[in-house]
Structure 1
Amino acid sequence: MRTRVKVGIGVAGAVVVLVGAAVIWGPGLYAGWADRNAQAAPTLDAADAAPLAAGLDGVWTAQDGSYAGYRVEEVLRGEDATVTGRTPQVRAQVTLDDGTLTAASVTVDMASVATDQPPRDLYFRSTALRTGDFPTATFALTSPTPLPDGATAVTLTGDLTIHGVTRRVDVAAQVAQTRGGDAIQVVGSVPVTFADYGVEAPSLGFVTVEAAGSVEFSLVLAPE
Structure 2
Amino acid sequence: MSRRAWVLLAIPVVLVLGLVLGPLAYAALQDDAPPAATVQAQPSGAELSSGTDGSWTVSDGSTAGYRVDEVLNGADVTVAGTTGQVSGSVVVEGGALESAEVVVDVASVPTDSARRDAYFRDSIMDVGTHPTATFTVTGPVQLPELSGTPVTVPVTGELTLAGETRAVQVDLSVVRTPEGVDVSGSIPVVFTDFAIEPPNLGFVRVDDQGTVSSCCT
- TM-score higher than 0.5: yes
Secondary structure at 1:169 match in 2 = strand
Deviation at 1:53, TM superposition (A): 6.8
Unaligned runs of 5+ in 1: 1-13, 23-29
More helix by share: 1
Residue in structure 2 matching 1:199, options 196, 199, 210: 196
Residue in structure 1 matching 2:22, options 15, 38, 51: 15
Alignment of 1:1-224 (within 5 A): 15-18=22-25, 21-22=26-27, 30=28, 32-35=29-32, 38-47=33-42, 55-150=51-146, 152-178=151-177, 180=178, 182-220=179-217
Alpha-carbon contact 2:133-2:161 (below 8 Å) kept:
yes
Deviation at 1:54, TM superposition (A): 5.8
Q: List, as ranges, runs of 4+ consecutive aligned residues in structure 1 with deviation greater than 6 Å.
A: none
What one-letter code is carried by the residue in structure 1 that aligns with 2:81? Answer: G
Aligned to 2:7: none
Aligned to 1:8: none
**Count of residues in correspondence between the two structures:** 192
Deviation at 1:16, TM superposition (A): 2.7
RMSD between aligned alpha carbons?
2.1
What one-letter code is carried by the residue in structure 2 that aligns with 1:16? Answer: P
The structure whose RCO (Cα within 8 Å, separation 6+) is larger is: 2
Greater mean deviation of Cα atoms: 157-166 or 92-101: 92-101
Relative to structure 1, the CA distance from residue 48 to residue 72 in structure 2 (aligned partners, 3 Å threshold; closer, same or farther) is farther
TM-score under structure 1 length normalisation: 0.79
What one-letter code is carried by the residue in structure 1 that aligns with 2:108? Answer: S
Relative to structure 1, the CA distance from residue 91 to residue 119 in structure 2 (aligned partners, 3 Å threshold; closer, same or farther) is same
TM-score under structure 2 length normalisation: 0.81
Percent identity between matched residues is 45
Structure having the higher Rg: 1
Secondary structure at 1:211 match in 2 = strand
